[in-house]
Structure 1
Amino acid sequence: MLAWLKTNAAKARETLTTEVAKHKNRKFMEAISNASAMVAMASNGAGAEEKQKMAAFLNTSPELKVFSLTDVLAVFNDAVAKFEFDPQIGQAEALKVIGRIKENESAARLLVRVTCAIGASDGDFDEKEKAACRQMCMELGLNPADFEL
């Protein structure tokens, strides 16, 4: 009986830790997904290379691997749909979500670095993608020159 209680208590604690991590890092996940959509839509649209690069980052990020790829892709696809409906609305909405992490400079810097890597994942980090990353920097209060933009 005591072993059963210990095992179930440990499982409950692990589940709670995962749920707290999801809540705590949801803003960052949403920001990364919107930033990825923004850079993908800046030039050739949301291709497989961008989605694969974003998924790879999410699977290796300790802060974000608590999220299912399904949840992340849902946020990404929602952002892409806004760009497809109207590019200006999509950009405004994405920047609003990205701006929510402004107070955390290390997260903001990580977002820009990841987004630059996603933009370059198809072998061509073009001027439109760089411009999108510069806009993110401005929204986050970061200097684009710090990221060679």
Structure 2
Amino acid sequence: MSFDNFLSQLKSKANELKTEALKFKNKDFLNAAMAGSALVAMADGSISSDEKQKMVKFIESHDALSIFTTSDVIKAFQDFVGQLEFDKDIGEAKAYEALGKMKSNAQASRLLVRMIIAIASSDGVFDFDEKKVATRIAKELGIDPAEFEL
């Protein structure tokens, strides 16, 4: 496969995610996406200010999330991270509650898992703790993690 073909496929996948995300442009979908993002960002138990900045920059530039205003995306992400930092158990409960609102929509749930994996991989590494969280999120959404090679 040539580099041009690879680049073309990469752009196609990004446009596909954005097109799918447009179908679910609502507050519940945004909250579920940011809840999952916060959970995966906090997979190692904490998130440094550098990690927060990297995550926020990724979220701002991610095509599938560009359908929302940047301020709404950042606020939702920071709210979930703040809840997780303040009290891990309560923060997780609230994050999984937000994710659970998408469980009845299999298409939205699959898109969420793909987005969460993309966000987890944004630093070039998808480590064991991140995979564990992504697996739990998939299960919470009623999706077989094997669909995503988790």
For the superposition of Structure 1 and Structure 2, which TM-score range results when normalised by the shorter chain?
A: 0.7 to 0.9
Aligned-pair CA distance for 1:146: 0.6
SS in structure 2 opposite 1:141? coil
Taking structure 2 as the reference length, the TM-score comes to 0.75
Which runs of structure 1 show a deviation greater than 3 angstroms over 4 or more consecutive aligned residues?
none
The reply to whether residue 95 of structure 1 matches residue 96 of structure 2 is: yes
Q: CA RMSD for the aligned pairs?
A: 1.9
Aligned-pair CA distance for 1:50: 2.2
Q: Give 1:49's aligned residue.
A: 54
Query: Cα deviation per residue 1:71-112 (whole Å; 9 max; x = unaligned)?
Result: 111111010011101212211110100110111111100100
Q: Distance in 2 between matches of 1:53 and 1:25?
A: 20
Look at both structures and tell me which one has the larger radius of gyration over its CA atoms.
1
Query: Cα deviation per residue 1:40-69 (whole Å; 9 max; x = unaligned)?
Result: 011252613322222222xx23xx544211
Aligned-pair CA distance for 1:124: 1.4
Question: What is the count of residue pairs matched by the alignment?
Answer: 124
User: Please, which runs of 5 or more residues in structure 2 have no aligned partner?
Assistant: 1-21
Matching of residues 74-113 of structure 1 within 5 Å: 74-113=75-114
Matching of residues 1-149 of structure 1 within 5 Å: 25-43=26-44, 45=47, 47=51, 48-57=53-62, 60-61=63-64, 65-149=66-150
Is contact 1:102-1:108 (8 Å) kept?
Answer: yes
Is contact 2:138-2:145 (8 Å) kept?
Answer: yes
Is contact 2:32-2:99 (8 Å) kept?
Answer: yes
Aligned-pair CA distance for 1:135: 1.1
Judged with a 3 Å threshold, the aligned counterparts in structure 2 of structure 1 residues 103 and 81 are, in CA distance, closer, same or farther, namely same
Percent of pairs identical after alignment?
Answer: 40
